[in-house]
Amino acid sequence: MAPQRAVQLSLKMPTHAVCVVGVEMLVDVHSDVPKGAKTFGLSGSSGVEVFVVYNPTRVTEPTGKARWPLDAKVDVVVSMDTASKDLNDRKVKVFYFGEPEGDALGHSVLYLTGADISLDVDTGRTGTVKRSRGDKKTWRWGSKGYGAVLLVNCDRDSHRSRQPDLANSQLMTLDDLQDMSPMVLSCDGPDELFNSHKLVLDTSLSDSQRVGVFCARGGNSLSDYKQVLGPHQLSYKVERQRGEREIRFYVEGLAFPDADFLGLVSLNVSLVDMGTMPAVTLFTDTVTFRVAPWIMTPNTQPPEELYVCSVMDAHGSNDKFLEDMSHLASKANCELIICPQIENRNDRWIQDEMEFGYVEAPHKYFPVVFDSPRNRGLRDFPYKKILGPDFGYVTREILAAGASSLDSFGNLDVSPPVTVGGVEYPLGRILIGSSYPKSGGRQMARVVRNFLKAQRVQAPLQLYSDWLSVGHVDEFLCFVPTSDRKGFRLLLASPSACLKLFQEKKEEGYGEAAQFDGLKYTAKISINEMLADRRLQSDSLHAQKCIDWNREVLKRELGLTERDIVDVPQLFSVRGSYAEAFFPDMVNMVVLGKHLGIPKPYGPIINGRCCLEEKVRSLLEPLGLHCIFIDDYLSYHKLSGEIHCGTNVRRKPFPFKWWNMVP
C-alpha cells in the first residue's frame, strides 16, 4: 500500500498527527536534522508499527543498534491497527547520530492518535455489509468479481405517496429501507478528536442526480431517517455522537443506466482537520455501486400473472375471450388480472403498452414495469395501477415527435439464455423490430433503444419487422420452453410451410376443404383457390423472404441451428407496402409454461379437424407442450392483432444473478 500522506518532524517541538487505522503514513526524517547527523534510529510505542523502506541494492540493513544512513533514500512509514483510546496516546521517536558509537545529537517525537475510519458496503455481494480494507473503488463483473449493487428505488411503498419512492426526499415508510443498499461508516477514536476533525460524506455533482443517501439516527420512527445526499445536497458533515463507533446509512438509486450514465456511482467519506486554515483532508475512503439493470424475462421463465383487458366494440364484449384466458391461466397455475374498461379506455393492446421486467440486488428483488411511449388508452394503467409496494415503474418518453407503431412493446422480445461462439448470454438477448438496414424505414425510438442497450446484460439485437403493417417482432416469432437439453425452441411463421401443407392436402384429395370454414362473418376460400391465387402466393413469397432474412440473423446472433427452429404454417397478404396475417397468426401466442394460448386459425377442416391446428400440434406436442386454440378473430385478429398483442405476462426472475456475468 502506498503511503497516504507525509508528516514532517521537528527537533524543536513534538509533532502531532492522526493516523487512520490500516493506512500507512510517511514520516519525514530528513527535513529537520541536527548538524553533523549521518544516521538515525527509531523506536515506537505499543500499538504502532514502524517500517523502514529502502532500496537493498543501495542500502545495507544495519545490525546491532539499527542505525540507518541519512544520506541515502531511506523512508520511514508508520501504521496502526487499532483506534486510540485517548488523544496522542501513541508515539514514535527518531534519534539522530553523528559518529557510529557516539551519543544522539538530537531527537524528534511524533505523537499519534489512531482513528478507525472506513466506509463499507456489500462489496462481496452476499446481502450483508462486511468490513473491508480492500479495493472498494473498483466494480468488477463476474462470479469472482466484487462491488456493491444499488436498486433504483422506483416502486411506491407508501399508500400516502402518489409518486415513486425515489421522488421523495423524506422516508414515507420504513418498508422503503428494504429497497435501499446498506452502508456502514466506522468512526472509532477518541471523542475529543472529532471536536477538531470532521467526517464529510460527499459525492460528485453528476452522481448526486443518480443516488440518494439516508442516515439512520436513533430509533425506528420515520423522523429518525434523514436524507443527507441527493439531487440538492452534494455533501454532509456527519453528526457523530460521543462514543459512537458506527453510523448506518441507506443508499437508493435514482436513475437507471442510460446513454449518458454508465451505471456507476461513487460515495466518499473524508476525515478533515478543521483546525487548520484552510481545512485539510487527511484521509478519504471511497465506495462504488453499480445500479442494477432492468432485466426482461423470456417465455421460458415460469409465469406468475397474466394480464388482459375487458373491452367492448361493435361486435360486443370480449367476455368469451376472457373466459378462455381464465381457463388457460388456471391450467398454468397463473393468476389472471383483468384490466377493466374504465381503466383501459377500450384499449385492448396491453402487450403494446408495457413490458414486465425486474431489478435485483443481493439483498432484494422486485418486478418493474417498463411503460412504452405509445400513450394510448392504457397510458395511465402502468403508473396508476401497477406501480406500488415492491413493484417498480420506469418509462422513456419521445420528446420530439409522436410514437410510431414500432415503439409499442409487441415489438420488444427477449430470447432465452444462449451461447454464441463461446460468448455466453445467461440472461438472453433483447430483440427489437426495426427497418431493413440502411433503408430509412420505421425504427423503435432511439431513447428506448438507448435505454435497453445501456442495461448491458441482454445485448439488444435488431431484426427486420418494418415489412409488416403493424411492424412487430411478435408477428413472426415466438420462443417456447422445452424439457430437453436445449430448453427452448424458436417458432417462426412460415408461408412456405403453410403452402406445402395445403399442397399436400390437395394431393390427398382435400382441395375443396376451405379456410375460414365455420366463421359466419368471413367468406370461405378453398385450398384449391388459395393455391391458385397468384397474389396470395406472391405476397407469401415476399413474407417468406423477409422472415428468412431474420432467420439467418437469429441463427447467427443467438447461436441457433435449424434443429432449434420450428416452422409454423402461416400465410400473409400485402396491403399497400406492408404485410398482414391472412388468417389468425399462430406464432402470436401467449406462453404460460407448457400451456400455449394459440390464435385459432380456422383452417380447412379435414376428417373433422382443422388441418392447421393438427399440424401445429404435431410440431409442438412432442416437445411436451400443450396447444390450446382460442378464438380471437373478431376481438383481435380483425383489428390487426392477436392473443400475444392482447395479453401480458409477468414472469419469475432468472435464478442467475446478473452481476455474475461478464458483458
- Catalytic annotation, pick one of 176, 197, 258, 472: 472
Give the Cα separation of 384 and 388 in Å (integer): 9
644 catalytic residue (yes or no): no
Distance in angstroms (rounded) separating the CA atoms of residues 312 and 248: 54
Catalytic hit among 120, 371, 474, 585: 474
Query: Is residue 610 annotated as a catalytic residue, yes or no?
Result: no
DSSP state of 323: H
Please give the Cα distance from 382 to 402 (Å, whole number).
19
User: If we measure between CA atoms, which residue out of 44, 96, 39 comes closest to residue 68?
Assistant: 39
- The residue among 337, 316, 315 whose CA lies nearest residue 325 is 337
Residue 624 and residue 648 in contact, taking contact as beta carbons nearer than 8 Å: no
List Cβ neighbours of 333 (8 Å cut-off, separation of 6 or more).
none
Q: Is there a catalytic annotation at residue 474?
A: yes
CB atoms within 10 A of CB 136: 21
* Among 165, 352, 539, 632, the one annotated catalytic: 352
Q: Which helix (H) or strand (E) holds 552?
A: helix 534-558
Give the DSSP letter of residue 599. E
273 Cβ contact partners less than 8 Å away, ≥ 6 residues apart = 18, 196, 197, 279, 280, 281, 282
Residue type, 196: S
For residues 141 and 110, give the distance between their C-alpha atoms in angstroms, rounded to a whole number.
43
Give the Cα-Cα-Cα angle 186, 212, 147 (nearest 5 degrees).
60
Task: Please check whether residue 31 is in contact with residue 25, taking contact to mean a CB–CB distance below 8 angstroms.
Answer: no
Q: How many CB atoms lie within 10 A of CB 208?
A: 20
Separation of alpha carbons 553 and 560, rounded Å? 10
Q: How far apart are CA 427 and CA 298, in angstroms?
A: 9
The alpha-helical segments, DSSP class H, found in 380-491 are 381, 446-454
CA distance 464 to 476: 10
Per annotation, catalytic residue among 154, 478, 611, 645: 645
> Is the Cβ–Cβ distance between 635 and 318 less than 8 Å?
yes
d(Cα 527, Cα 499) in Å, to the nearest integer?
Answer: 9
Q: Residue 474 has what DSSP assignment?
A: G
| Pairwise CA distance, residues 264 & 150, whole Å | 9
645 is catalytic: yes
What is the grid cell recorded at 12?
Answer: 524543536
Q: 213, 208, 194, 207: which is closest to 282 by C-alpha?
A: 194
Residue positions annotated with a catalytic role: 352, 472, 474, 645
